[in-house]
Amino acid sequence: MLEGKVAVVTGAGGGIGREIAVAMAMSGARVVINDIGASLTGEGLSASPAEQTRQIIEQRGGTAAISTDSVADWASAQRIIQTAMDAFGRVDIVVNNAGILRDVIFHKMTPEDWLSVINVHLNGSFFVSRAAAEHFRAQSSGAYVHMTSTSGLVGNFGQANYSAAKLGIVALSKSIALDMARYNVRSNCIAPFAWSRMTSSIPAETEAQQARVAKLQQMTPDKNAPLAVYLASDAASDVSGQVFASRYNEIFLMSQSRPLRSVHRSEGWTPETIAEHAAPALAGSMLKLDRSQDVFGWDPV
């Protein structure tokens, strides 16, 4: 489905990113594997993870190049895209998958915890997407696939930085879809479910937690790759500005913010009349403080 195309996949040294890079290569794309080889919290650097992904692709007959530049910097993001141009002469697909975690309860979160996660996830998605935009515009084609998360779409404990970044990516993707539609460029999001390095820190101390982790471990990273390949392909030429979730063998089209219910008062509102009339009228449609596991309350199928 991707024959003749060139894909840049960030965070492709392991987990979901690696599986997407391999799947795209097996679908005919030449792939730039971008990964700085850092720890889960963004520390340390190594080319080994990217090299391992390239070995897998080449052993299976595919073609790949490596970039170890950081997504979290404007200049280095330009170099990531330039790697595709230097190695393969074009770029057709950008998968914004790179990420780190600095999970901590909100009232203990430091500015460094906040900024480091925002810089990689949200700023990185913008920097790499923007670097590719000029090439996409010039050739009147291109596809972006961004990784969001139900931590942002729904909510989760101890992830204010990650949740904010991931929900910001949804807005970024929609804006790209709107602004770049005239150039035949598409932009979509995937909220992946997978047991990987990013989820291996989930507690498994109680019996209930252990049961939950056992279910999560069924959801291997490769289960998310087919949807990414499809969204990057010409088969999805009419799909843009959408948010999907991929969970084991399930694919969901997620809702986007729209009005749920309204109230009107011709003479206008006061704080008192809001309390007496508007709030009670709207209460039945107000959303609970749900987390992802509350919304996706059934076992993966």
Q: Which of 200, 140, 129 is nearest to 168 (CA)?
A: 129
Given CA atoms 257, 261, 264, 268 in this order, what sign does their dihedral have?
negative
Which H or E run contains 187? strand 185-192
Phi first, then psi, for residue 188 (nearest 5°) are -140, 165
Rounded Cα–Cα distance for residues 170 and 62 (Å): 31
Question: For this structure, is 162 an active site residue?
Answer: yes
Phi first, then psi, for residue 33 (nearest 5°) are -90, 110
Residue 298 CB coordination number (10 Å):
8
Catalytic residue among 162, 183, 230, 248: 162
3-state helix, strand, coil in the chain (%, to 5): 45, 15, 40
* DSSP notation for 123-172: IHHHHHHHHHHHHHHHHT-EEEEEE--HHHHT--TT-HHHHHHHHHHHHH
Q: Decide: 22 and 53 in contact? Cβ < 8 Å.
A: yes
Catalytic machinery residues: 162
